[in-house]
């Protein structure tokens, strides 16, 4: 089983949070969990072990979220949709 998707999800979380204190651990059973590393070097688990897809969803929903980028064209399109109703 490849864990590239899980690694990329943790990298996105680190970028959103602006912190390198998160790490991914893969168990012998192939399950993943997220850990937070304190300043003293102690790691604490942030979730129960999850399958790959569930882990990626958990990490993407964890921590601060980036606002959705909206262009002028998106706004105009939404306006046209609301006018047709």
What global pTM score does this model have?
0.73
Give the pairing type, strands 32-37 and 22-26. Answer: antiparallel
Q: What is the pLDDT of residue 1?
A: 53
Specify the length of the chain in residues: 85
Q: What is the pLDDT of residue 2?
A: 65
The residues facing 26 across adjacent strands are: 32
How many whole angstroms separate alpha carbon 74 and alpha carbon 52?
33
Q: What is the pLDDT of residues 4-58, one digit of tens each?
A: 999 999 999 999 988 889 999 999 999 999 999 888 888 899 999 999 999 999 9
How many whole angstroms separate alpha carbon 65 and alpha carbon 59?
11
The residues facing 25 across adjacent strands are: 33
User: What would the DSSP string read from start to end of 33-69?
Assistant: EEEEE-TTS-EEE-S--B-HHHHHHHHHHSS--PPPP
């Amino acid at each position: 089983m490849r864990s590239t998707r899980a690694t990329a999800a943790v990298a996105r979380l680190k970028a959103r949070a602006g912190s390198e204190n998160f790490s991914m651990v893969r168990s012998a059973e192939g399950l993943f969990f997220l850990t937070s590393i304190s300043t003293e070097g102690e790691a604490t688990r942030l979730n129960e072990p999850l399958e790959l897809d569930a882990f990626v969803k958990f990490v993407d929903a964890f921590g601060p979220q980036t606002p959705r980028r909206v262009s002028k064209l998106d706004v105009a399109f939404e306006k046209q949709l609301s006018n047709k109703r």
